[in-house]
Amino acid sequence: MNGEAAFRRYADFDAILNSIYCAIFIVHTDGRAVYRNGAADELKAELGVTEDELIGALEAQIDVVHGQGRFAVAVEGGMIICHLLPWTQAGQRQGSIIVAHISGKERCSAQELDNVIDVLEEIDAILEVVADGIVVADKNGVIIRVNKALETTFGIKRRDVLGRSMEILDREHSVCGELVRKMNEDPKRIVVSGTYKQKELLCTGAPIFDRQHRLKTIVISIQDMSALNTLRKKLEEQRLYTKSYMREISLFNGSGGPIVAHSPAMKKILHLVHVVADVESVVLITGESGTGKEVVVNEIYHTSRRKDKPFIKINCGAIPDTLFESELFGYESGAFTGARRQGKVGFFELANKGTLLLDEVGELSLAAQVKLLRVIQEKEVQRIGAAKPVKVDVRLIAATNKDLWSMVCQGTFRQDLYYRLNVIHIHIPPLRERREDIIPLVNYFLKYFNEKYGKEKEISPELYRFLMRQDWPGNIRELENAVETMIVLPSENKLTPSHFVGKGTGEDSGAAVKVQRLVPWKRAVEEMEKELLMQAYREYRSTRAMAKALEIDQSTVVRKMKKWGVGSHEKDKNDAI
Ligand SMILES: Nc1ncnc2c1ncn2[C@@H]1O[C@H](COP(=O)(O)OP(=O)(O)OP(=O)(O)O)[C@@H](O)[C@H]1O
């Protein structure tokens, strides 16, 4: 039960005690009456005695009945019949509960007395289990009850505050003080927040009124918000992380992220993508490097019926011919020298029931093409060293930036494989042929990188015009890199054409490699290798394009990147294997 509910229960009980015909006093061991109901006030008035006189007379008898039992007291105005009960909190005696009525008047029934006892015990039990600290004070601000949580959570000892004025809390715990002051000025429900011993507190004060609508009791609940606030902060952080990871994933892996498609050509492609997503036919996606082939592949996968099944991406150009069979089809244990003892599952089997992307399919050797063709025709793979083939159910998507038909004409790509792959053909035009997409893409990357780097960069109209005029030979990846650079590097928030760092601008026209001092040959070669790879990676993000720019084999690029840890922090989607 929270403090709020405890208030309501307390108010209920107060109402119950006030509706009882008998006078009820709760008297602290030090002799102070810390609670009295409405009938108690009436009793005093009827007898014409002060509270001190009455309590004094009652107290004199408490010892006589050993803290419990019935007794009668004669006071100036008449005879009072009393029933005395112990008042305990957390197992410790705090004082006495006295239920009294004037002799000769209608007596409280035994049932009524039992009910009173039950109600009081219930109040105690409830207050003790409430996790918030609870302070109950009378209208004069004298503390009449506190619960255990006040002690355990806030270190405020019961014995130090019971029977004392609320001022003690005001002095030492200014939040409560502020609350009591406000409630005395205007007795209504009030919430204040503050800190105490580095704890963030939320204090709620609620007034309880007597039958004449006079302020009778104040109940204060003190909640330690520190844990809740820490949790809330953590949750918010997690939410931001998740958001940024989702953006990251959607941008770099295309997992259902938005595809910017404003030009008629891209709109048509997007429509086609959604049509083919649900059929099982092989799709061939062509287009220059960086036009968004992989983005389209991802969209097909994520909108297809196989979206919850495996999605394996293979960069055909990165698999050496000698490893093609073992990587794609797998091998049995001990199939050949150097094979893993436990054997290996090939990519086709891994993609079973799911989707397999054959990226850079134009890079396959003729020997590999024959093996691939067989699997596509038979729909089964045979691991090296296995006695028989196994059936595989894989949806194939192939992608390339090569003109496969020209390759067929030149004899470097098998015609039969070409027809097997080219069932549904999607060609993505370069950015220079769909300029309507430039501004939406710029805005998309601007928003993405602003969020990623926590910036608030804006693009000036001149820069928009400038970007529109560029030819973007490196396509969308080049545009993306240009926007990222402009968001990260300049300190100004308003971006103009002067902030654009494109290809060929601002570069040193002198020698590409400069020797600044003598270093050992081996170290110089290693440093240069690493530097070259990093620069190529920053520029191209594709091992195939990097290989082309550096004029070395793609497999060498892959190997060296691994060796120097280039791009290891960021999974290069083009290097799917
Ligand atoms: N229509 C698009 N909407 C949003 N982002 C896009 C779009 N097209 C491409 N991109 C982004 O441009 C970059 C290059 O896209 P992608 O890798 O899909 O090109 P690609 O044609 O597969 O390149 P490569 O042939 O070099 O492998 C990626 O970061 C991608 O998220």
**Ligand 1 contact via 363 beta carbon (within 6 Å):** no
Q: Does one domain contain both 339 and 387? A: yes
Is position 52 within any domain? no
What domain count does the chain have? 3
Contacts of 441 (CB under 8 A, 6+ apart): 260, 431, 476, 479, 480
Contacts of 281 (CB under 8 A, 6+ apart): 423, 424
Q: Does one domain contain both 413 and 462? A: no
**Ligand 1 contact via 190 beta carbon (within 6 Å):** no
Is position 43 within any domain? no
Instruction: Quote the ligand 1 centre to 252 CA distance (angstroms).
Output: 8
CA 349 – CA 381 distance, rounded (Å): 8
**Tell me, what's the pLDDT at 427?**
95
**Ligand 1 contact via 288 beta carbon (within 6 Å):** no
Q: Ligand 1 test: best mutation among 477, 481, 570, 577, most atoms within 8 Å of CB? A: 477
What are the distances in angstroms from CA 8 to CA 12, 388, 489? Answer: 6, 76, 59
Q: Ligand 1 test: best mutation among 294, 472, 548, 575, most atoms within 8 Å of CB? A: 294
Residue 465 lies in domain: 433-499
**Ligand 1 contact via 554 beta carbon (within 6 Å):** no
CATH number at residue 443: 1.10.8.60
Is position 404 within any domain? yes
Task: List the pLDDT tens digit at each of the 577 positions of the chain.
Answer: 566 666 666 677 777 787 777 888 888 877 777 888 888 888 888 777 787 777 777 776 666 555 566 776 766 666 677 877 877 777 777 888 888 877 655 445 556 666 666 777 777 778 888 888 888 887 777 787 888 888 887 777 877 787 777 777 655 555 666 777 777 778 788 888 777 777 777 888 888 887 677 777 888 888 888 878 788 878 877 766 665 555 444 444 444 457 899 999 999 999 999 899 888 899 999 999 999 999 999 999 999 999 888 899 999 988 888 888 888 998 887 666 665 666 788 899 999 999 999 999 999 999 999 999 999 999 999 988 888 889 999 999 999 999 999 999 999 999 999 999 999 999 999 998 999 999 999 999 999 999 988 889 999 998 998 898 888 887 999 999 999 999 988 778 899 888 887 654 333 334 566 666 677 788 788 888 888 888 788 777 788 888 988 889 989 998 988 888 777 655 433 333 2
Instruction: Quote the ligand 1 centre to 292 CA distance (angstroms).
Output: 3
Instruction: Quote the ligand 1 centre to 484 CA distance (angstroms).
Output: 15
Minimum CA distance residue for ligand 1 atom 8: 292
Atom nearest to 291 CA in ligand 1:
21
Q: Name 84's bridge partners.
A: 69, 98
Residues for the chain: how many in total? 577
**Tell me, what's the pLDDT at 4?**
65
Instruction: Quote the ligand 1 centre to 441 CA distance (angstroms).
Output: 11
Instruction: Quote the ligand 1 centre to 426 CA distance (angstroms).
Output: 15
Instruction: Quote the ligand 1 centre to 528 CA distance (angstroms).
Output: 29
**Ligand 1 contact via 296 beta carbon (within 6 Å):** no
Instruction: Quote the ligand 1 centre to 318 CA distance (angstroms).
Output: 19
Total Cβ atoms within 10 A of residue 336: 10
Of 429, 461, 490, which marks where a domain is finished?
A: 429
CA 223 – CA 2 distance, rounded (Å): 9
Is position 320 within any domain? yes
CA 564 – CA 552 distance, rounded (Å): 16
Q: Does one domain contain both 374 and 318? A: yes
Q: Ligand 1 test: best mutation among 476, 544, 570, 571, most atoms within 8 Å of CB? A: 476
Q: Does one domain contain both 343 and 417? A: yes
**Tell me, what's the pLDDT at 254?**
43
**Ligand 1 contact via 263 beta carbon (within 6 Å):** no
Instruction: Quote the ligand 1 centre to 452 CA distance (angstroms).
Output: 18
Nearest to 398 by CA among 384, 377, 419: 419
* Tens of pLDDT, residues 509-525: 345 666 666 777 887 88
Q: Does one domain contain both 423 and 535? A: no
Q: Does one domain contain both 527 and 381? A: no
Phi, psi of 313 (to 5 degrees): -115, 130
CA 16 – CA 342 distance, rounded (Å): 78
Instruction: Quote the ligand 1 centre to 485 CA distance (angstroms).
Output: 17
Of 499, 530, 557, which marks where a domain is finished?
A: 499
User: What region, left, alpha or beta, does residue 181 occupy, with left being phi > 0 and alpha being psi -120 to 50 degrees?
Assistant: alpha
Is residue 319 within 8 Å of residue 433, measured between CB atoms? no
Minimum CA distance residue for ligand 1 atom 28: 477
Strands ordered across the beta sheet of 283-287: 311-315, 355-359, 395-400, 283-287, 424-428
**Ligand 1 contact via 257 beta carbon (within 6 Å):** no
Nearest to 86 by CA among 77, 95, 78: 95
468: its two tokens: 């529109």
Is position 151 within any domain? no
Do the strands 494-495 and 458-459 form a parallel or antiparallel pair, or are they unpaired?
parallel
**Tell me, what's the pLDDT at 402?**
92
Instruction: Quote the ligand 1 centre to 514 CA distance (angstroms).
Output: 34
* Tens of pLDDT, residues 221-234: 888 888 787 888 78
Instruction: Quote the ligand 1 centre to 153 CA distance (angstroms).
Output: 56
pTM to 2 decimal places: 0.49
Q: Does one domain contain both 292 and 395? A: yes
Q: Does one domain contain both 399 and 484? A: no
Q: Does one domain contain both 368 and 269? A: yes
Q: Name 459's bridge partners.
A: 495
**Ligand 1 contact via 480 beta carbon (within 6 Å):** yes
**Ligand 1 contact via 477 beta carbon (within 6 Å):** yes
Q: Does one domain contain both 425 and 438? A: no
**Ligand 1 contact via 476 beta carbon (within 6 Å):** yes
What are the distances in angstroms from CA 80 to CA 29, 64, 73? Answer: 21, 16, 5
CATH number at residue 424: 3.40.50.300
**Ligand 1 contact via 362 beta carbon (within 6 Å):** no
Of 470, 499, 528, which marks where a domain is finished?
A: 499
Q: Does one domain contain both 281 and 407? A: yes
Q: Does one domain contain both 393 and 471? A: no
Is position 354 within any domain? yes
Tell me how far the alpha carbon of residue 543 is from its chain's centroid. 34
* Tens of pLDDT, residues 194-240: 777 777 778 888 888 876 777 778 888 888 888 787 888 788 777 66
477: its two tokens: 């990846």
**Tell me, what's the pLDDT at 506?**
34
CATH number at residue 558: 1.10.10
**Ligand 1 contact via 289 beta carbon (within 6 Å):** yes
Instruction: Quote the ligand 1 centre to 571 CA distance (angstroms).
Output: 15
Q: What is the ipTM of this complex?
A: 0.98
DSSP calls for 329-390: HEE-TTSSTT--TT-EE-HHHHTTTSEEEEETGGG--HHHHHHHHHHHHHSEE--BT-SS-E
Instruction: Quote the ligand 1 centre to 434 CA distance (angstroms).
Output: 14
